[in-house]
Structure formats: C-alpha cells, structure tokens
Amino acid sequence: MVPNSDPSTVYCLGSAQQELDSTDNNMDALNEASDLLPYVDPNTGMSECGFAEALYRKKEERAWLLRRSIADLENLVHGDDEHVDQLQRELREADFDDEVPNYHRLNAEIQIKRNQRMRVSLRQKIELARQVLEESKLKRFPGMKPVMSNADLYR
C-alpha cells in the first residue's frame, strides 16, 4: 500500500494557522475587555461607572468567543490525531512492500513530522487559552450569568 501522499488529504496547516491566529485575537480581546472592567461592589452591584454592566457583558461575550476557539482547536487536534495514525499505519505497511517508491515513504514521513509539530502548537495554544479564560472568570458582574451560546449574546 502506498502512503497517502495526495495533497488534498494532507493536514491543512493553513487552516490550523488561521485557527491559531483567531484564538490569539480572541485571547487579546478577552484580556483587553477584562482590563477595562470597572470596580463593582459585589454586595450591591453598584459602580461609579454608569455602563459597568455593559462592559462586563462585553467581557462575557469575548469569553464565549474564546471558548468557541478552544473547541475549534480541539477538533483540529482530534482530526490530526486520526490523520497521523492513518499515515503511520500506511507507512508501516509500505515498509513491507518493495513496490512502494522511496519518495512516497519520505513524503509520508515529512507529513507526519509537520503534523506532529502543528499538533504541539495547537495543544500549547489550547492550554494558554484555557488559562486566559480561567483568569477572566475572576471578574464577574454580580448576578450576571456567563454567555454560553449564541442566544445569550442577544439577551
């Protein structure tokens, strides 16, 4: 069996990079929104800032976007795991087939190494994004529920 060297099945590094960039943007937006939050008395819910609740709502929206980015990255990692496993199986089978040209083996090995490096980057970004999300949870408007879905964005 020839290792799958079809370019259409190669793990889409460009798509993964777009997701990493999007996650970076969402982390920056959440950090910025969190940094702008005014003090709100936890007992009374009062603030010197007349639009404090709107700022906290905006922060919750940013947190929701970051949770979505994390889920997207996790989906990419899962898909990549399956793709690399398939390539490794095909490469092992090719080792016993003398009719498989060496360049097919080499191409599969290169794809595996690229995907493994991207997988490490994705997992590191997921961990960092989770940390940013956890830090943002420390700042909540009294009684405000976190945004958990698209519908919550418009209430």
- What is the average pLDDT across 120-129? 95
Rg of the chain over Cα atoms, rounded to whole angstroms, equals: 22
How many angstroms separate the CA atoms of 29 and 69, rounded? 12
- Given pLDDT bands bounded at 50, 70 and 90, which one contains residue 9? very low
Quick check: 145 pLDDT over 70? yes
- Structure confidence at residue 152 (pLDDT): 54
Quick check: 96 pLDDT over 50? yes
The DSSP annotation for 42-97 comes to: TTT---SSTTHHHHHHHHHHHHHHHHHHHHHHHHHHHHHHHHHHHHHHHHHHHTT-
Evaluate the CA torsion angle 66, 72, 75, 79 in order and state its sign: negative
Residues whose CB falls within 8 Å of the CB of residue 105, separated by 6 or more in sequence, listed in order: 3, 91, 94, 95
- Given pLDDT bands bounded at 50, 70 and 90, which one contains residue 6? very low
Instruction: Please state, rounded to an integer, the average pLDDT across all residues of the chain.
Output: 82
How many angstroms separate the CA atoms of 122 and 126, rounded? 6
- Structure confidence at residue 72 (pLDDT): 93
Quick check: 86 pLDDT over 50? yes
- Structure confidence at residue 7 (pLDDT): 44
For residue 76, count CB atoms less than 10 angstroms from its CB and return exposed for 0-12, middle for 13-18, buried for 19 or more: buried
How many angstroms separate the CA atoms of 119 and 19, rounded? 12
Quick check: 119 pLDDT over 80? yes
- What is the average pLDDT across 95-111? 72
